[in-house]
């Protein structure tokens, strides 16, 4: 997506993916400095741990407690978070969050971004997670409406459900029961491979509207592109690049929201 956007805008830049083990993150950041790499996209599982290795983190990313975008300014590495705004733009393709009851599934970096963004937009947010204590901590941190286990979804009757767990990633499983999904709600899965997860297929069968993780990935990447270049991202070009990668069997090379 980024390389397609760079080419469309005539920019002399290239985007590469690097697989960095958690124990090697400090070395990877030092290497990025030494190589004068201008921008970094931070993916699973580094979005929270990367904060301590940066020179400055913007106010929004500090509030969220997670960084997915880093820009080199002079000799300073600056951390940002575009997951929250990208996720909201994706949701707004189907629904305006203001005044809606929303449930965030998960308690990792992407869940933090979604909870922050949904509350900022005026939604009533509940956080559900397999480990309830993590959901409670996240809920308390952001002042969400409440928290609980994944099994509590059926009691909440939300208008918006967003899965940020890794359940469904390259496996045909769902984090919640099909019967817990109400007809008429909007269900978005941050998982983008496969593009239609079991959660989304079951939600559609229940009469819900669905949003693939593709759109969250594209919109957060478009926000990254704007931060890096100060140019408007060519959204259609990036969407087509995503589709081409998937049709060629290369979707596993895409980097995007942290899931967990």
In tens digits, the chain (260 residues) has pLDDT values of: 999 999 999 999 999 999 999 999 999 999 999 999 999 999 878 999 999 999 999 999 999 999 999 999 999 999 999 999 999 999 999 999 999 999 999 998 889 999 999 999 999 999 999 999 999 999 999 999 999 999 999 999 999 999 999 887 767 899 999 999 999 999 999 998 888 999 999 999 999 999 999 999 999 999 999 999 999 999 999 999 999 987 665 443 333 333 32
Global pTM exceeds 0.85: yes
In this structure, what token pair is assigned to residue 222? 């478009």
Catalytic residue among 47, 89, 94, 98: 47
Q: Are 216 and 90 in contact (CB under 8 A)?
A: yes
Q: How far apart (Å, rounded) are the C-alpha atoms in residues 205 and 92?
A: 22
| Annotation marks residue 89 as catalytic | no
Q: How far apart (Å, rounded) are the C-alpha atoms in residues 57 and 70?
A: 9
- List the domains of the chain with CATH numbers: 2-82+215-253 (3.40.50.10860), 85-212 (3.40.50.720)
**Number of other residues whose CB lies within 10 A of the CB of residue 126:** 24
Buried-state track 45-83, b at ≥16 Cβ within 10 A, e below 16: bbbbebbebbeebbebbebbbbbbbbbbeeeebbbbbbb
Q: Are 235 and 215 in contact (CB under 8 A)?
A: no
Q: How far apart (Å, rounded) are the C-alpha atoms in residues 165 and 149?
A: 13
């Amino acid at each position: 997506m980024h390389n397609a956007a760079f080419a469309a805008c005539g920019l002399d830049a290239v985007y590469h993916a690097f697989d960095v083990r958690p124990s090697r993150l400090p070395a990877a950041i030092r290497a990025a400095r030494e190589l004068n790499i201008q921008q970094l996209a931070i993916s699973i599982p580094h979005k929270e741990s990367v904060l301590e290795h940066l020179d400055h983190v913007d106010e929004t990313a500090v509030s969220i407690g997670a960084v997915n975008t880093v820009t080199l300014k002079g000799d300073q590495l600056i951390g940002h978070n575009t997951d929250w705004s990208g996720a909201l733009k994706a949701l707004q393709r189907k629904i305006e969050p203001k005044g809606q009851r929303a449930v965030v599934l998960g308690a990792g970096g992407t869940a933090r971004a979604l909870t922050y963004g949904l509350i900022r937009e005026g939604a009533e947010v509940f956080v559900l997670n397999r480990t309830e204590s993590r959901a409670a901590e996240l809920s308390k941190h952001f002042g969400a409406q409440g928290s609980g286990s994944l099994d509590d979804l059926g009691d909440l009757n939300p208008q918006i459900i967003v899965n940020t767990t890794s359940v469904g990633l390259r496996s045909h499983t769902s984090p919640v029961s099909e019967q817990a999904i109400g007809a008429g709600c909007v269900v978005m899965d941050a998982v983008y491979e496969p593009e239609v997860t079991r959660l989304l297929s079951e939600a559609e069968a229940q009469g819900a509207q669905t949003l693939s993780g593709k759109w969250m990935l594209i919109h957060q990447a478009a926000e990254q592109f704007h931060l890096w270049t100060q140019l408007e991202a060519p959204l259609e070009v990036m969407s087509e690049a995503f589709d081409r990668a998937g049709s060629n069997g290369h979707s596993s090379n895409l980097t995007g929201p942290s899931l967990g």
